[in-house]
Amino acid sequence: MAIVWFRSNEGYIRSKCGRFEIFPNFCGNLHAKSYNLHDNRKTNDTTVAAGISFQSEAKLIAESIESKENTYIHLDAGNGKSLCGMNLHSRRLNTYSDCKACNNVAFNQLPDGPWDMYARYDERRGFFGIGSEIYAKAHRFDDDAILSVIVSINKDGNYWGWQEYRNPIPSMIWPSEIQFRMCFASDYKVKEQEKKGRSVRLDIKIRD
């Protein structure tokens, strides 16, 4: 989306969103010999380019900054902004993000449970078919009952599962890392590095 510009009451050019400002460097009282571009999103020195010959050139630099940011996929915080604080009117949104700032916020917000789920159980395998009631029913091999269970994250838990920002309820729950690893086309640790989710160790208890 193109940046909309207007001339402020003070006589300098400003973007409608308030982020960018173009200030003239005057030679004498009337003639601007060059321009400086400022980005108000920067916390210290807001100058991103100085001594620019033309206003149009400064505007192109600002457009380039916005364009590069728009290549990132951000996570929606639900208030018109991304988790990293960006305005989302022209941003790409997805369950996954390649914006490191969004991902850092998202994964710090992931809950540890507990969650109410359903499962099957036998003495040899322990709990299996762990998830929604429909999912548990799909794993019925005999007349074993569907159990109501409580699942929570525990770094020493006996089960492995996968958790994502957009779906924080653990999924792909298995009693061993080998079984859990088979749920992924590639190593799950690669997905963790890409901040597409995280592996979690889980405790599972039958609800009283």
Phi, psi for 178 (deg, rounded to 5): -60, -45
- Residues 86, 9, single domain; the answer is no
Pairing of strands 147-153, 115-122: antiparallel
Determine which helix (DSSP H) or strand (DSSP E) holds 177, and give its type and residue range.
helix 177-181
Are residues 142 and 186 both part of a single domain?
yes
Q: What is the mean pLDDT of each run of 10 residues along the chain (208 residues)?
A: 78 83 78 86 82 89 76 64 62 56 76 90 86 83 78 94 85 92 87 83 92
Residues 93 and 42 in one domain: no
Asked whether residue 20 falls in the same domain as residue 85, the answer is no
d(CA 94, CA 1): 18
On whether the CB atoms of residues 134 and 127 are closer than 8 A, the answer is no
Q: What is the per-residue pLDDT for 90?
A: 44
- The Cα–Cα gap between 200 and 127 comes to 16
Residues 24 and 103 occupy one common structural domain? no
User: Which class for 101: exposed (0-12), middle (13-18), buried (19 or more C-beta within 10 A)?
Assistant: middle
pTM of the model: 0.56
Q: Are residues 103 and 82 part of one domain?
A: yes
Q: Are residues 200 and 149 in the same domain?
A: yes
- Residue 140: what pLDDT? 66
* pLDDT score, position 89: 47
**Quick one: 134 and 168 in the same domain?**
yes
Q: Which two tokens stand for residue 113?
A: 């449970």
Q: What is the pLDDT of residue 157?
A: 94
Residue ending a domain, among 58, 93, 108, is: 108
Q: What is the Cα–Cα distance from 150 to 26, expressed in whole angstroms? A: 70
Q: What is the pLDDT of residue 72?
A: 58
pLDDT of residue 73: 61
Q: Answer whether 180's CB lies under 8 Å from 188's CB.
A: yes
Q: How many independent structural domains does the chain possess? A: 3
User: What does the radius of gyration of the chain's CA atoms come to, in whole angstroms?
Assistant: 26
**Domain around 99:** 73-108
